[in-house]
Structure 1
Amino acid sequence: MARLPVVRITAILGALLLVYFVSVIARPKVVYVDTSTNEIVHNYIPKDEDASIAGVSLGDVVREKLQNSFGGVSDPIKDPQKEAQLALAQIEQVKEDSAAEVKVVKDSNGNVIVPAPPAPDYIGKDKDIRATFVTLARNSEMYELIKSIRRVEDRFNRKFNYDWVFLNDEEFTDEFKRLTTSIVSGKTKYGLIPKEHWSYPEWVDLEKAAKSREDMKAAKIIYGDSESYRHMCRFESGFFWRSPLLDDYDWYWRVEPGIQIHCDLDYDLFKFMRDNKKRYGFTISIHEFEKTIPTLWEHTKNFIKEHSEYLAPNNLMDFISNDNGETYNLCHFWSNFEVADLNFWRSDAYRAYFDYLDKTGGFFYERWGDAPIHSIAAALFLNKDEIHYFDDVGYNHGVYTQCPLNPDFRFEHKCHCNPDSDFTFRGYSCGKKYYDVMKLERPKEWVDYQ
């Protein structure tokens, strides 16, 4: 009988130990959540203070291994955090142009005229349209990129199944290929950028280029000291459209990591462009950082003097210049979203313009972006009615958002953007300028979102 209490005590202790081990096994992991998006961050690398809270000892060696294992060993070309900080700082510094006039068009009864939505007859894919998505990305951007792809597929491409071309200055990993192929509804193609398209041309003075990067870094210009960013801008300006993987296509839609599409797109944007004789489409227009392109316009004027035959008779010069071409007002289309005609970049006019600029070395002696170069070329070499503003996409990249202002439209197209974030008519945007030059009626709600 004396053994009974011992057995009971042993059983109780065993039960307590079992409960303890079960609780340890079932204990939830530490989960990191992005406070701005409420999305779980699966590859978050904790700071030291975060690691201590999580009960994890994270030394420098472990952190380095984690960073190197995140999709590859290379760093992304762009730094979204730096871009956002600089963009917000510049927006705060902008003052509205006091000379801008409010232009509201009304009918005979005093009602504001609102542009009609796209005609429904563009719904459906035309098999004769040779179009693809194009993305320049590195392996380390894979997880950020697949979110962008998923958004584009859900909002648009699941209905049309267009192909997707991926380009990289390194070989894509098998993981990158498998994951992107699994979520793209069309065919996927992967290309390695030739070294001559991602390196210094022979005429560039490397010492002069290095000195320029040092000066820009000292001046705290974003990407001022980055060589890879300069290679990227030169590639997007003069070489992406030369990839053999694009030879089978006439149209492309550029998609970058980190972008969002807020609205359902129930019509074929490529078909719309073709049927309406449009050649360049955008969602956001903005002013460029002047310190990155101090001599770009002078070189452009010199090119025009030598090749006036390339100027379109009904061009959009008034959008990029306030004084008939004497100076550049810094307005450009934000090229991280483009739906455009590849044959425009393949044209004699654009090839000659790019080659002229490239020979000056400005991509490396300064920090020319592909966005102002694409925009200047489109504004000068295309007729203005060949350029289209997609006001129905609901597009976001970084701190800049294009969101349809009409509440009925947002409801019908299941938009999840906040119109308060729309950038179109804000002071640092070139949206007002574009609407005025193109003589477009502004949406009746615009006065509440400027």
Structure 2
Amino acid sequence: MSLQNTETEAHAFEGKAEEKAGKDGVQRRTGVRWRLFVLLLILVAVNYIDRGSISVALPIIQKEFNLAPELVGLLLSAFFWTYALMQIPVGLLIDKFGPRKVVTASCIGWGAATAASGLAGGFLSMFIARLGIGVAEAGVMPAGGKLNAIWMHKKERGRGATILDAGAPLGAGLGGILITWLIASTGSWRYSFIIAGAATVLMGLAVWWYVRDNPRNHKRVNDAEASYIEASHAEEDAEAKKDGVKGKRALLPYLKFRSFWAMCFGWLGFNGVFYGLLTWGPLYLAQAKHFNLNTIGWSTFVIFGAGFVGEILGGTIADKWRAAGASANKVMRTLLGISSIVVIGGLVGVTIVADPTTAVVLLSVVMFFLRWVGLFWSIPSILGGRTNSGVLGGAMNFSGNISGFVTPIVVGLIVGATGSYTWALLYFVGSAIIMGVSVLTLDYGKRLPV
């Protein structure tokens, strides 16, 4: 290589370095952490499209398989049985092997299981396929909580948590339109499930390509961004050491702390409402409000789309309020307390109104404020730090998904026994009350001394 070429390359490198530097000569931080969380948002959205696809197609599936309401509730709950049971084991795997490997394996496994559910010949085979989807999807959210602890500065974790979790209402909303469109385009709910499963496998490849377990290992992260994140880690570690935190990898020692149980019960109550609306919402609109398939799809999009907007806004408010100097407890208890009050009032309103459009509006308001509780995905890193954020995220999600498999069954029994959705909606009100008590009990201000 000639000296002239070498000098040219050196000048080009210097030019690029100058482009990344500010006017004061200080290198500007790259924004890889935000792009990574946008990828996670898309991943969680695909997760919920796959997870909620059966609810959208349920009016057709129920008729084809000739299912009673009680069997519908059992089928809707199948996913949550294995999903909940796998949360703590997969959280331990994430803390040991890192989130990248676990999320990639999850994507490939649940994509295959989703496609297999499109081949189901009846209740039993569909039930087994849903169990498989639950096993495979279990690692996604705890891994996201771990990545929030690894990649985000502590001042940004509110937004990190809600960007991650906002994929849930986004996927639920888009799923209503996409699945109904696929069913209409292909003429079969089966083909729509197979296509959704194939898309999920491709997402797994995207995750492996872009996600890293350490910001320093990512080719697009510059020194300024890595140092910014590491400075936050160092500050947290110093505070934890001062508070007597040992940093041992464990779960059982957390069981003696009130905040651990408040985290678990808060997520239990939250999911009692969210999963109830996710699994039974489309059928409620079809049977109680007499919507057709197309109207169900758009109504689902509006309701869960409001949740997506609310969640992103909630995370932004939380981080900006914290940056202005407010304490973590003031910010979280205020925002999540308001959320609980609005959700309870909105659900009570849905039980009273008869007009279908008003019901959709009220459910949209409920979902907008309910999704503020997505801030809970910052709590595993608050209570357990980077060391135990995976297993604490798994424990939290295990508790939440007890509601996942209980709620669809209970609602099925209620609807089957009463022929009405009124008491089912009041069940959701009870879940929201549990959520409200928990969010006001939890101490968001310090890491637990484990």
TM range (shorter): under 0.3
Greater strand percent: which structure? 1
TM-score scaled by length of structure 2: 0.25
Higher RCO, 1 or 2 (CA under 8 Å, sep at least 6)? 2
Identify, as 1 or 2, the structure richer in helix: 2
Using the size of structure 1 for normalisation, the TM-score is 0.25
